[in-house]
Amino acid sequence: MVMAEYTLEVKKEELDKKIKELAEKYRKDVMIPGFRKGRAPVELIKVRFSRELEAEGFQEIAGAKLEEILEKHRPFIYAGPDVLDVKKDEEKGNITLKVGLEVPPEIGKIDYKKLSRELPGGEVTEKDIEKELEKLREINAELKPVKRKIKKGDSVLVDIEMGDVKMTNYSLDIGNDTLSRFIKGMKAGEEKKKEIEFPEKFSIPELAGKKGEIKVKVLDVKEKVLPEIDDEFAKNMGFENLDDMKNEIRAQLEEDLKENLEKKIREKILDNLIEQFDIEPPESLVRSLSVNMTRADAEKEAKRIAILDAIALKEKIEITDEDIDRKLNEVAEGKIDEEKLPGYRDNLRPVLIREKTIEFLIKKVRGEDGDN
């Protein structure tokens, strides 16, 4: 647990002054036998309500000093403050309070060379474009009825029975899976039985993991006639020509690649941070994260969060209220109740700071200006 400990001291002089202030504050409302309301001497009030005034005075002074400490760590306080110890100097009258906060760890210098190790890269190739063109051919294939035996690539309509599973008019594209291998070679109108065991992760959920006799009747067989990849095909797809279509495919692939690479780079940088800074994950973070993930994943995510927060504090990375308002408008579209808004803002601030910290790290790794 990343626990920062602080010692607060409330001196007797401070407390005496605060007690006098409180006694004078409450004097007008206090009724003491023998005195009219609001006329009892302050010293008498201090004696009569000494325990209450001392407790309230101590809370106010200690609370103000504690607030200064909390402000240094906001918005990254995971748990606390917890009172660890209280001592009173009977001779001097001073009270010492030790409190603990679960906060980000202190980290050393970041080694950006190590941070950039094995970052993923890539580029769109002609082969990638050809794959996309083949997908478009498949999508736009014409299905032509045939009377021959079924072969790979055909589209068939079948009835299937296996135990309590009954599937009628089931459409299937013939490939190399268990069921396809059984159906290959059959013709429309034929029926066939066989003992089969399907793998646990079979593509048809109803048959996954099943073992026993299967009965298949072929109702219809169609052959896929793929269109030629030429200017005419491109025009049918809404482009001027084939080159225009290829350029659009390339642009989309590059956009997708950039987005995927950004995600992979972020993940790798976060993994490299954990490797560089071997910290103990904040337990309160682990507990809250464990609600939606395994303990191991929660510990890993808690380490990531704690290290990012430590970097944000170290590098003084901050966001503005305008940043928060902009994000709130994006995700909520003005649907958040006004009374709930402060809570949303407080919760969103550390999230946005972490996002900005990751962007800061990516710029540093790439050798760009890491201006925050």
Q: What is the mean pLDDT of residues 199-204?
A: 90
Residue (of 359, 367, 369) closest to 113 by Cα position: 367
Is the pLDDT reported for residue 79 higher than 90?
no
Q: What is the mean pLDDT of residues 248-262?
A: 92
Is the pLDDT reported for residue 370 higher than 50?
no
The structure tokens 């299905």 sit at 143
The structure tokens 């396809």 sit at 180
Predicted local distance difference test score (pLDDT) of residue 331: 67
Handedness of CA 26, 32, 38, 40 (dihedral sign): negative
Q: Which of these ranges, 100-104, 205-209, 214-218, 291-295, has the smallest mean pLDDT?
A: 100-104
Is the pLDDT reported for residue 338 higher than 70?
no
Query: 33-69: per-residue pLDDT in tens?
Result: 888 888 888 888 888 888 889 888 888 888 888 888 8
Query: 138-181: per-residue pLDDT in tens?
Result: 899 999 999 999 999 999 999 999 999 999 999 999 999 999 99
Specify burial of residue 185 (Cβ count, 10 A radius: 0-12, 13-18, 19+).
exposed
- Between CA 209 and CA 217, with CA 213 as vertex, the angle to 5 degrees is 105
Is the pLDDT reported for residue 193 higher than 90?
yes
Q: Average model confidence (pLDDT) for the chain? A: 88
Is the pLDDT reported for residue 211 higher than 70?
yes
Residue by residue, what is the 3-state secondary structure of the chain? CCEEEEEEEECHHHHHHHHHHHHHHHHHHCCCCCCCCCCCCHHHHHHHCHHHHHHHHHHHHHHHHHHHHHHHHCCCCCEEEEEEEEEECCCCCCEEEEEEEECCCCCCCCCHHHHCCCCCCCCCCHHHHHHHHHHHHHHCCEEEECCCCCCCCCEEEEEEEECCEEEEEEEEECCCCHHHHHHCCCCCCCEEEEEEECCCCCCCCCCCCCEEEEEEEEEEEEEEECCCCCHHHHHHCCCCCHHHHHHHHHHHHHHHHHHHHHHHHHHHHHHHHHHHCCCCCCHHHHHHHCCCCCHHHHHHHHHHHHHHHHHHHHHCCCCCHHHHHHHHHHHHCCCCCHHHHHHHHHHHHHHHHHHHHHHHHHHHHCCCCCCC
Is the pLDDT reported for residue 334 higher than 60?
no
State the pLDDT confidence band at 340, using cuts at 50, 70 and 90: low
Q: Which of these ranges, 6-20, 265-279, 288-302, 323-337, has the smallest mean pLDDT?
A: 323-337
Predicted local distance difference test score (pLDDT) of residue 369: 59
Predicted local distance difference test score (pLDDT) of residue 148: 94
Q: What is the pTM of this model?
A: 0.61
Is the pLDDT reported for residue 304 higher than 90?
yes
What domains, with CATH codes, occur in the chain? 3-102 (3.30.70.1050), 142-225 (3.10.50.40), 232-365 (1.10.3120)
